């Protein structure tokens, strides 16, 4: 059985063990990356295709007549035309829960850095300002504690729940937003307009859908406390990036930690990459990327293929 991995370098930095994946699919051909005009040729004879971010549209799937299984090396499957796959009778599997520990850790790395003003203090030492201080310490930037603060979570799946558990250890109060687009009231959930004015920290963990695109815009930012912090490790399109940048410049928001942008990589620039924005930390979609997380993904890919071969498909999307 012939398989192809279209963009292995998006997952592997040479530090992963592909032993189990190669055992279940011995004839696996790996490409470091695949351009759009190379996809059709590379999957033409494949029965199994693994893709992280390479697009598999209807026209491409229609040409791949031997294809039977698509394994997405991610949780999001927006790069696959699922309707076309269903028409072809193709099984599509994704990976789930592999990066929870890594993402939760990253959320608090961003949050703690912003609350303790870690980047500013690090820069102060590098510039020699501590060395020139008149006393033993330098306290030029206000430090805040997480204990006693209120965290609002939008998206209460595995990631949101993981963040909530750690927040409670820090002594934070956790509020969960009602699912965006939900018609009926959800027990224990708070509508976003009511939640936003209450929180000191807002952490986003929901998928990007028609209901959540632009979820945090001018009105939502205006509802938040002036010293609140926004953390987004979900999807860039959830937040109006221009408005967020302006809110930070104007002091209408206390800070933001962002691991995702609306276009990745940001080849055409992005409003949040400007150098004059205070209290902002931007990381390059790296929250999920611990070695342990990526290795778990490889193991799930192997499990997905083995399950399909055994007639007991797991993590099926369609």
Dump pLDDT digits (tens) for 28-44: 999 999 999 999 999 99
Residue 182 pLDDT more than 90? no
Which pLDDT belongs to residue 181? 75
Which pLDDT belongs to residue 188? 87
Structure confidence at residue 130 as a pLDDT band (50, 70, 90) = very high
Which pLDDT belongs to residue 209? 87
- Distance (Å, whole) CA 90 – CA 241: 37
Structure confidence at residue 168 as a pLDDT band (50, 70, 90) = very high
Residue 230 pLDDT more than 80? yes
Which pLDDT belongs to residue 275? 96
Percent with pLDDT over 90 in the chain? 93
Q: Which of 81, 75, 79 is nearest to 96 (CA)?
A: 75
Kindly report, as residue ranges, where domains of CATH 3.40.50.720 are found in the chain.
2-98+291-309, 100-282
Q: Which of 163, 181, 166 is nearest to 231 (CA)?
A: 163
Report, as residue numbers or ranges, the catalytic residues.
Answer: 235, 264, 285
Which pLDDT belongs to residue 235? 94
What would the mean pLDDT of 95-120 be, rounded to a whole number? 97
Which pLDDT belongs to residue 169? 98
Position with higher pLDDT, 60 vs 182? 60
Percent with pLDDT over 70 in the chain? 100
Per-residue pLDDT reduced to its tens digit, 269-306 = 999 999 999 999 999 999 999 999 999 999 999 999 99
What would the mean pLDDT of 202-206 be, rounded to a whole number? 97
Structure confidence at residue 65 as a pLDDT band (50, 70, 90) = very high
The token duo for 229 is 């912090």
Which pLDDT belongs to residue 76? 86
Determine whether domain 2-98+291-309 maps to CATH 3.40.50.720. yes
What would the mean pLDDT of 152-171 be, rounded to a whole number? 97
What would the mean pLDDT of 196-225 be, rounded to a whole number? 96
82, containing H or E segment: helix 82-88
Whether 26 contacts 51, CB under 8 Å: no
User: How many CA atoms, within 13 angstroms, populate the side-chain half-sphere of residue 77?
Assistant: 19
What would the mean pLDDT of 95-115 be, rounded to a whole number? 97
**Residues 108-130: b if buried by 16+ CB within 10 A, e if exposed:** bbbbebbbbbeeebeebeeeeee
Which pLDDT belongs to residue 23? 97
Which pLDDT belongs to residue 307? 97
What would the mean pLDDT of 91-105 be, rounded to a whole number? 97
For 188: left if phi > 0, alpha if psi spans -120 to 50, otherwise beta; the answer is left
Mean pLDDT value across the chain: 96
Structural fold of domain 100-282: Rossmann fold (3.40.50)
């Amino acid at each position: 059985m012939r398989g192809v991995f279209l963009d292995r370098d998006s997952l592997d930095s040479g530090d992963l063990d592909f032993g189990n994946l190669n055992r279940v699919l011995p004839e696996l051909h790996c490409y470091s990356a695949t351009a759009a005009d190379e996809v059709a040729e590379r999957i033409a004879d494949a029965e199994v295709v693994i893709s992280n971010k390479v697009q598999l549209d209807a026209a491409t799937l229609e040409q791949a007549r031997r294809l039977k299984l698509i394994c997405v090396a991610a949780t999001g499957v927006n790069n696959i035309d699922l309707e076309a796959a269903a028409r072809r009778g193709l099984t599509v599997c994704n990976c789930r829960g592999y990066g929870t520990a890594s993402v939760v850790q990253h959320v608090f790395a961003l949050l703690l850095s912003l609350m303790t003003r870690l980047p500013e203090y690090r820069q102060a030492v590098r510039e020699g300002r501590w060395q020139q201080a008149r006393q033993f310490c330098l306290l030029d930037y206000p430090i805040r504690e997480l204990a006693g603060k209120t965290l609002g979570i939008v998206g209460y799946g595995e990631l949101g729940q993981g963040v909530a558990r750690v927040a409670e250890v820090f002594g934070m109060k956790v509020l969960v937003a009602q699912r965006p687009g939900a018609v009926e009231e959800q027990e224990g959930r708070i509508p976003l307009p009511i939640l936003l004015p209450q929180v000191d920290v807002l952490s986003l963990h929901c998928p990007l859908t028609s209901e959540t695109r632009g979820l945090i815009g001018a009105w939502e930012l205006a509802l938040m406390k002036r010293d609140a912090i926004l953390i987004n490790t979900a999807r860039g399109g959830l937040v109006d990036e221009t408005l967020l940048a302006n809110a930070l410049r104007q002091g209408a928001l206390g800070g933001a930690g962002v691991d995702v942008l609306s276009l990745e990589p940001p080849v055409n620039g992005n409003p949040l990459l400007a150098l004059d924005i205070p209290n902002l930390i931007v990381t390059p979609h790296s929250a999920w990327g611990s070695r342990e997380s990526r290795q778990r993904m490889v193991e799930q890919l192997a499990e997905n293929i083995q399950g399909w071969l055994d007639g007991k498909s797991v993590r099926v999307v369609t």
